[in-house]
Amino acid sequence: QMMAAEIEAGGEVPIMLAWHASKAGTPYTRLTQATPTRVIAAGDIIYCQIEGKWRGYLSQIDQAFTIGAVPQLIYDMAASQIEAFKVTLPAMRVGNTFGDMYEACAASARGKPYQANLILHARGLGEDWPLLVRPEPELLRQPLKENYVMDIKPGIVRDGQDLWGRFGETVRVTPSGGERLGTRPEGLVEVGR
């Protein structure tokens, strides 16, 4: 139904609708479009990547859903992830570098029991580049230009494990900082709590 709604609204195929479900607080594996091996239940978290395409242009959101009550750690990590997302936006101004964005995100976790790692990939005419999943010096030195559009989705890692999904949004570089192109509320969506 979600894919049909995208197409009915003028979207194009192929559309990506990827998701993963696991018990909240346990590591999840790389996102695929495979279904879980069990029935989704209370205490689960579902992490989705939803991509829309129109006239060749791509946009993506990342969203986590909790089913019923989940450990407090999940809510704490979600709040930290939104904080990392928000502090990255001001660094997304013309003349700054990808490294400035990466550092702003990482700084949000200093002195805390976890790390904040920026993940980003470009959105536009069918292209994922630049792609930042780990700090690469050449990319970090590149300046940001006005109207660059990318999906940013900071990851929160504790004890070497990414324990929950992300909030990600398509954002545009402006002279005054990043501008979210989406309008949905930030944070977890809670179902049945």
Tens of pLDDT, residues 85-100: 999 999 999 999 999 9
How confident is the model over 109-119, as pLDDT tens digits?
Answer: 999 998 999 98
CB–CB of 70/24 below 8 Å?
A: yes
β-bridge mates for residue 189, sequence order: 65
Does this model's pTM top 0.85?
no
CB–CB of 44/91 below 8 Å?
A: no
| CATH code of the domain containing 157 | 3.90.230.10
Which residues form the domain of 93?
Answer: 2-191
Indicate the number of domains in the chain. Answer: 1
How confident is the model over 153-184, as pLDDT tens digits?
Answer: 998 888 887 766 789 999 999 999 999 999 99
The dihedral formed by the CA atoms of 47, 53, 56 and 57, expressed in degrees to the nearest 10 = -70
Q: Above pLDDT 70, what percent of the chain?
A: 81
CB–CB of 125/12 below 8 Å?
A: no
DSSP string, 55-84: TTEEEEEEEEEEES---HHHHHHHHHHHHH
